[in-house]
Amino acid sequence: MQKIKYLTANYIKNVVGSALFEDVAQKDITTDLLVNKNSITSAKIIINEDGVIGGLDFAEEAFKQIDKKTKFKKKFQEGSFVKKNSLIAEIKGLTSSILKSERTAINFLSLISGIATQTKSYVDQVKDYKTKICCTRKTIPLVRIIEKYGVLLGGGVNNRFNLQDEIFIKDNHISALQNIFDLVQNALRLNKTGKVITVEVDNIQQLELIKTLNFNRLLLDNMKPEEIKKALAMIGNKFETEASGNINEKNIIDYAKTGVQRISIGKLTHSPKSLDISLNF
What CATH number is attached to the domain comprising 151?
3.20.20.70
CATH number (domain holding residue 91): 3.90.1170.20
Looking at residue 272, the DSSP 8-state letter turns out to be P
160 domain residue, yes or no: yes
**Helix (H/G/I), strand (E/B), else coil: 14:** helix
pLDDT at res. 116: 98
pLDDT at res. 163: 94
Quote the domain boundaries for residue 190.
Answer: 124-270
Chain segment 190-221, per-residue pLDDT in tens: 999 999 999 999 999 999 999 999 999 999 99
**Torsion of the alpha carbons at 26, 46, 69 and 18, rounded to the nearest 10:** -40
Domain co-membership, 210 together with 110: no
pLDDT at res. 176: 82
Domain co-membership, 88 together with 72: yes
222 domain residue, yes or no: yes
Cα–Cα distance, 133 to 242 (Å, whole number): 10
pLDDT at res. 207: 96
Please count the structural domains in the chain: 2
Cα–Cα distance, 137 to 132 (Å, whole number): 17
pLDDT at res. 91: 98
Low-confidence residues of the chain: pLDDT under 50: none
Domain co-membership, 171 together with 199: yes
pLDDT at res. 2: 75
pLDDT at res. 256: 97
Domain co-membership, 78 together with 133: no
Domain co-membership, 188 together with 148: yes
Do 96 and 30 meet the contact criterion of CB atoms below 8 Å apart? Answer: no
pLDDT at res. 275: 98
Nearest to 235 by CA among 266, 255, 259, 269: 259
- Helices vs strands, H then E, count in the chain: 11, 12
